Amino acid sequence: MTASGAFMAVDRRPLVGRFTPLAAIAAAGLSVVALGYLYLFFVLIGDISPDMVIVPIAWSLALLPLTGKRWASIPAVLVALAGFAFELPYIFTWHINEYDVAQPFVLNVLVLPAAFLTTIAAGIGATIQNYRRAPGERTMPRWVPVALVVVVSAVAGGSAVAFTPKHGAVARVSTEAVESLPVAIAMGNDAFIQQEMRVKAGEVVQWRVVNADSYDHTFDIDELGIHATIGGGESGFIMFKPEKAGTYVYDCAIPGHNMSGKLIVE
């Protein structure tokens, strides 16, 4: 029908083999998600988990938008929405103390959320273009490169800050001295073996903390200013002097580990 006929016909032919630039960005975002979770499971956690099923799902759906089908970006958007919802508790509960948790912070709070949001935005845009525009009009919107530069810059800047060494007084204890101490606190299977510890107010406490898991945990008593990272399969040394009697909570501050115990100062 001509323009004078009130509307112009839109090409509804399949897009097989002709994916749009936005679909390619959605595919790239979901590929980053798959790589991020591979790094999380094999490097940071170092263990096989049922949650690893997200890796083949993300990679298979990352290839789908590249088929050029009109609906091909919709599954990627749905998976990205679910993944972003899963990451939200990590984003809002994470706090950085004096210990070094830069790698999981950068991955869970910066890289994965940015990849999820990029997939969602690009996937929705690609779907709208596929259904509402003729093939020759399915181009890259001018604002997309600017948005990508902003996202990449934000992730890079946040990563640089997270990995910046923290300055201050550092005490070193030899490995032999630490290993000679009896185990006071043991961690395993995302739990503290000792759920309750008792000490005397005004006395110096020297604890050896052992992490039996293959990935990092932290040992924190916020009220006493104690923050330490214990690497997977490693021991750590903690020394402090509680001045006031009371009950304090020690925990692992890495989101998702849900570990806590009770320190009673008598």
For 119-166, the pLDDT digits (tens) are 999 889 888 888 886 655 667 778 888 888 888 888 888 777 766 655
Q: Specify whether 28 is located in the same domain as 157.
A: yes
Any domain includes 169 = no
The pLDDT-based confidence of 8 (bands split at 50, 70, 90) is: very low
**What order do you get walking across the sheet with 183-187 strand by strand?**
183-187, 205-211, 235-240
Any domain includes 186 = yes
DSSP-derived letter for residue 192 is B
Listed ranges 53-57, 87-91, 105-109, 121-125; the one with the highest mean pLDDT: 121-125
Q: What is the mean pLDDT of residues 29-58?
A: 79
Q: Specify whether 104 is located in the same domain as 185.
A: no
Any domain includes 116 = yes
Please tell me the least confidently modeled range out of 85-89, 100-104, 152-156, 254-258.
100-104
More reliable by pLDDT, 145 or 100: 145
Helices 74-93, 112-132: inter-axial angle, 10-degree rounding: 150
Any domain includes 92 = yes
Any domain includes 90 = yes
Q: Specify whether 136 is located in the same domain as 249.
A: no
Any domain includes 3 = no
Q: Specify whether 14 is located in the same domain as 48.
A: yes
Listed residues 138, 163, 188: the one ending a domain = 163
Q: Specify whether 63 is located in the same domain as 156.
A: yes
Q: Specify whether 33 is located in the same domain as 129.
A: yes
Q: Specify whether 61 is located in the same domain as 188.
A: no
Is a pLDDT exceeding 60 seen at residue 4? no
The whole domain housing 24 covers 10-163
Residue 102 and residue 99: Cα distance in Å, rounded?
A: 9
What's residue 1's pLDDT? 44
Q: Specify whether 56 is located in the same domain as 89.
A: yes
Is a pLDDT exceeding 50 seen at residue 229? yes
What's residue 117's pLDDT? 92
Q: Specify whether 248 is located in the same domain as 189.
A: yes
Residue 38 and residue 200: Cα distance in Å, rounded?
A: 45
Q: Specify whether 46 is located in the same domain as 118.
A: yes
pTM of the prediction? 0.61
More reliable by pLDDT, 47 or 151: 151
Q: Specify whether 121 is located in the same domain as 251.
A: no
User: For the chain, what is the domain count?
Assistant: 2
Any domain includes 109 = yes
Residues 205/239, Cβ–Cβ less than 8 Å:
yes
Is a pLDDT exceeding 60 seen at residue 14? no
Any domain includes 42 = yes
